[in-house]
Amino acid sequence: MSSDLYLATGLLDALHFAAGKHRGQRRKDSYASPYINHPIQVAELIARAGRVSDLATLQAAILHDTLEDTETTFEELKGRFGGEVAEIVKEVTDEKGLRNETRKRLQVEHAPHLSSKAKHIKIADKLSNIVAVTHTPPKGWSKKRRLEYLDWSEKVVAGCRGTNEKLEARYDEALHECRVILWK
Ligand code: ZN
């Protein structure tokens, strides 16, 4: 198989799988956008802003919320996409059953210890989320809560720095724009 075809079929396979797993789920914004838009955006940011074409990274980006938010198991990901992709997704998955504050604290603490591929996903995930929280916030989120989310994301990203200069610069730009909008 040519490398272009390998990349194309690998990405489509991940999209097909993730779209099926997230079917019926919606983002918390007032448009209730289909959930799959978010993992697509995370993969797109890594490819476009980060200039990354590594298949495992992009597949794991598309699949990054399947363990946390759907019935998908690690074994299922491993069987379909291989051990590397399954491990990356596991790295960016929060432990279940923890309180929100604990979950948030652990993300900050764990960030520096993630693999480079997982760090790409963390940065792009936070970038996607701060834009969503700023422009299409979940119902009922006050300005204060949205600004706190931005501050927390910055701490997580701080632990991922030195991974991809262009992607980090894009996050920094977005963070600045989001703050300017929310400070108004
Ligand atoms: Zn996500």
Query: Is 65 a residue of the active site?
Result: no
- Strand extents, DSSP E, 80-170: none
Number of folded domains that form the chain: 1
User: Residue 31: is its pLDDT beyond 80?
Assistant: no
Give the range among 15-24, 30-39, 88-97, 98-107 with minimum mean pLDDT: 30-39
For residue 122, the enclosing domain spans 3-183
Query: Is 68 a residue of the active site?
Result: yes
Ligand 1: distance of its center to the CA of 64 in Å?
6
Whole-number pLDDT of residue 81: 98
pLDDT-based confidence at 1, cuts 50/70/90? confident
Q: List pLDDT tens digits, range 152-165.
A: 999 999 999 999 99
Catalytic residue among 69, 87, 94, 177: 69
User: Which amino acid is located at 28 in the chain?
Assistant: K
Ligand 1: distance of its center to the CA of 58 in Å?
13
* 123, 157 Cβ separation under 8 angstroms: yes
**Average pLDDT over every residue of 22-30:** 86
* 69, 26 Cβ separation under 8 angstroms: no
Q: What is the pTM of this model?
A: 0.96
Percent of the chain with pLDDT over 70: 100
We report the CATH number of the domain holding residue 90 as: 1.10.3210.10
Ligand 1: distance of its center to the CA of 39 in Å?
6
Whole-number pLDDT of residue 27: 84
